[in-house]
Amino acid sequence: MGNGLLQSVADNVIFVLVCTGVAAALFLIAYGAEKQVQKKNGVAERILSTRKITMIGLFSALAVILHMLDFPVPFLAPGFYQLDFSEIPALVGAFAFGPVAGVMIEFCKILLKLVIKGTSTAFVGDLANFVIGCSLVLPASMIYMFKKTKKRAVAACAVGTLIMTVFGSAFNGVYLLPAFSKLFGMPLDAIIAAGAQINGSIHNITSFVIFAVAPMNIIKGVAASGVTMMIYKPLSPMLKNANPVMERRTGGVSESGNA
């Protein structure tokens, strides 16, 4: 029993370290990308201005509301997989204020959700939502910020959705599902069996992520991208006023032909 407790503590410590490392890496990537754009445009400003932080708080609040309205998709995956559309405000915020803002919205969303609702997946689902959300928001906003046009926005969303689907599926299979099994105490065989009850093609981890996880990521990415493309331009006057320096330097979001 003593050895089991020590192993459990060690597993949780390792998981916390992984979470911290992943979050730090995502912030660094986003920060480096924004600094590169600033250098290219001859801009010298803080990545996080007071006005931008205020908008990040607003988008984070919207994101956590959508996150808490998650729902199962019983025809695709077992009930412990929930689908939500909290990436919509994160993607809009990232397009308007840059990759750092997008990552911060995703991060604050998870913190707020944990404070309000706690966790039902031994924090594994929360890490998954953060990392997989960032795998859409971060590359999409990095592509878009170099040239803010409608065509670039569409391409950015398509690339972000593809990356989220591939990375999210691989991350689930390689790390998240084994971690969930260990920390939550649910054998991998039971997880696969739950998937097999929904789709007879599921018989191992690989087929589980292909037939259950990947379709959910595609739905999430396509929905978030589609809604973002519909609402971003109508919101752009307000967002432009909230981020005047960035818009002036990058050419704005409301010029003819721009997204």
- The tens digit of pLDDT for each residue in 96-153 reads 999 999 999 999 999 999 899 887 776 788 888 999 999 999 999 999 988 888 899 9
User: CA 156, CA 142: separation in Å to the nearest integer?
Assistant: 8
pLDDT at 54 over 50: yes
Alpha-carbon distance of 52 to 75, in angstroms, equals: 40
Higher-confidence residue of 14 and 36: namely 36
* pLDDT category of residue 235 using cuts at 50, 70 and 90: confident
* Model pLDDT, residue 212: 93
Please state the rounded mean pLDDT for residues 20-27: 86
**Are the CB atoms for 97 and 52 separated by under 8 Å?**
yes
* pLDDT per residue as tens digits for the range 206-232: 999 999 999 999 999 999 999 999 998
177 vs 9 pLDDT, higher one: 177
Tell me: pLDDT of 25 over 60.
Answer: yes
What is the helix (H) or strand (E) element at residue 247, kind and residue range? helix 244-250
Of 203 and 179, which is predicted with more confidence?
A: 203
Average pLDDT, the chain: 84
* pLDDT of 22: 83
Residue 34 is predicted with a pLDDT of: 85
Give pLDDT, residue 185.
76
Question: For residue 257, what pLDDT band results from cuts at 50, 70 and 90?
Answer: very low
Task: Name the percent of the chain in helix, strand, coil, to the closest 5.
Answer: 80, 0, 20
pLDDT of 67 higher than 80: yes
Assess whether pLDDT exceeds 60 at residue 243: no
**Which of 136-140, 164-168, 179-183, 190-194 shows the lowest mean pLDDT across its residues?**
179-183
pLDDT of residue 259: 55
Cα dihedral: 100, 139, 85, 164 (round 10): -140
Which DSSP helix (H) or strand (E) runs through 50?
Answer: helix 50-68
pLDDT tens digits for 184-213? 778 899 999 999 999 989 999 999 999 999
**Per-residue model confidence (pLDDT) at position 198:** 92
Q: What is the pLDDT of residue 252?
A: 45
Amino acid letter, residue 226: G
Categorize the per-residue pLDDT at 245 as very low, low, confident or very high, splitting at 50, 70 and 90. Answer: very low
Q: What is the pTM of this model?
A: 0.85
pLDDT at 110: 92
Task: State which fold the 2-250 domain adopts.
Answer: Arp2/3 complex 21 kDa subunit ARPC3 (1.10.1760)
Q: Provide CB contacts within 8 A for 34, sequence distance 6+.
A: 47, 98, 99, 100, 145
**Is pLDDT at 37 greater than 60 in this prediction?**
yes
